[in-house]
């Protein structure tokens, strides 16, 4: 049968696929647009499965917040290349998924994958598969943070590569954003000194002890040196003990005291952190193919 341009355009509007791709599936389904969409999704699943093992260490951090400022969600979505992370299709997908996470309050990425994308009849997982088929790269929902506060939930995005959520008791949105910006830059591990993990302290103590013994100083001096360096380390990794980035003459604890506010919790995401990236050697890859011939 003859496939009209209008039918091709209609399928393209519904799927976002290319004109030739739309025409191919319409021809295969004798112009049945619903069946064409089903077959396109099946093809997308097959392509997605083939790419599922490819390392996705680039991508973006996206944040969505409720109108009342009490809830916010932060999501890391990975791609294989930074080029794709800047693609408008990827950005639109990421924003839609973040809004879906906020609306549904999904607890994790597995639960989120089964939710229906806001304003559509497609699940997040189906939308991901369709995006993989369209752009030709592996796309992953890596991690999700839901934050709720009776006070203020603030955030900061450094481009699309670093994101921070922070929950404040008292304070306002401007302070929450300033604290989130500080966390993005200074990478604290915890809020207070008391929250620094014991194993982290003991690990640093072992390092400092080995270094101090090489100084040849008396043991009582060495002990004081070690305790001083441990105290400094604890301040460096706890938010309240860090010098405030906008005014290094005061610590974050002093800033919060002046504002009569407290930080209840925070979460910091950075794209690709903890993922082992594979560096492609193009020349070696070409030479290997030449040798095989």
3-state SS, residue 197:
coil
Q: What is the pLDDT of residues 164-212, one digit of tens each?
A: 999 999 989 999 999 999 999 999 999 999 999 998 888 888 888 887 7
Give me 242's structure tokens. Answer: 């860090």
CA dist., res. 259 & res. 274, Å (int): 35
One CATH from 3.90.950.10, 3.30.479.20, 3.90.380.10, 1.10.260.40 for 53-148: 3.30.479.20
Q: What is the pLDDT of residues 45-81, one digit of tens each?
A: 444 444 445 556 799 999 999 999 899 999 999 998 8
Give me 151's structure tokens. Answer: 């006070």
Running DSSP on this structure, what letter comes out for residue 239? G
CA dist., res. 106 & res. 146, Å (int): 8
Give the global pTM: 0.73
Q: What pLDDT, on the 0 to 100 scale, is given for residue 137?
A: 84
CA dist., res. 202 & res. 224, Å (int): 16
CA dist., res. 200 & res. 98, Å (int): 33
What are the strands of the beta sheet with 262-270, ordered from one edge?
152-158, 162-169, 262-270
Q: Where are the beta strands (DSSP E) in the chain?
A: 58-65, 71-79, 140-148, 152-158, 162-169, 243-244, 247-251, 262-270
Residues of the chain scoring pLDDT < 70: 1, 15-17, 41-56, 276-293
53-148 matches 5-51 in CATH topology: no
Task: Return the CATH fold of 5-51.
Answer: Helicase, Ruva Protein; domain 3 (1.10.8)
Q: What pLDDT, on the 0 to 100 scale, is given for residue 50?
A: 46
Q: What pLDDT, on the 0 to 100 scale, is given for residue 132?
A: 87
Report residue 64: phi and psi, to 5°.
-130, 140
Domain ranges of the chain: 5-51, 53-148
Short-list 95, 89, 98, CA closest to 132: 89
Short-list 186, 158, 164, CA closest to 255: 186
């Amino acid at each position: 049968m003859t496939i009209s341009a209008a039918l091709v355009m209609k399928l393209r509007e519904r799927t976002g696929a290319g004109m030739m791709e739309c025409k191919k599936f319409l021809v295969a389904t004798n112009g049945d647009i619903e069946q064409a969409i089903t077959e396109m999704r099946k093809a997308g699943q097959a392509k997605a499965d083939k790419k599922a093992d490819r390392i996705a260490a680039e991508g973006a951090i996206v944040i969505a917040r409720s109108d009342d400022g009490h809830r916010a969600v932060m999501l890391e979505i990975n791609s294989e290349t930074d080029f794709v992370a800047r693609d408008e299709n990827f950005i639109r997908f990421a924003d839609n998924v973040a809004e879906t996470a906020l609306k549904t309050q999904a607890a994790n990425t597995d639960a989120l994958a089964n939710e229906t994308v806001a304003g559509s009849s497609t699940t997040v997982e189906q939308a991901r598969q369709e995006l993989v088929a369209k752009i030709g790269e592996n796309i992953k929902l890596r991690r999700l943070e839901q934050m709720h506060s009776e006070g203020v939930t603030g955030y900061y995005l450094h481009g699309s590569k670093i994101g921070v959520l922070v929950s404040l008791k008292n304070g306002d949105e401007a302070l929450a954003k300033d604290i989130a910006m500080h966390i993005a830059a200074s990478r604290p591990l915890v809020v207070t000194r008391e929250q620094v993990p014991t194993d982290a302290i003991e690990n640093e103590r072992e390092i400092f002890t080995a270094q101090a013994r090489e100084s040849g100083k008396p043991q009582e001096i060495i002990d004081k040196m070690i305790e001083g360096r441990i105290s400094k380390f604890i301040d460096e990794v706890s938010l309240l003990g860090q010098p405030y980035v906008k005014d290094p003459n005061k610590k974050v604890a002093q800033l919060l005291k002046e504002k009569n506010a407290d930080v209840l919790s925070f979460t910091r995401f950075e794209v690709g952190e903890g993922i082992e990236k594979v560096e492609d050697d193009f020349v070696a890859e070409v030479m290997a193919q030449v040798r095989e011939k």
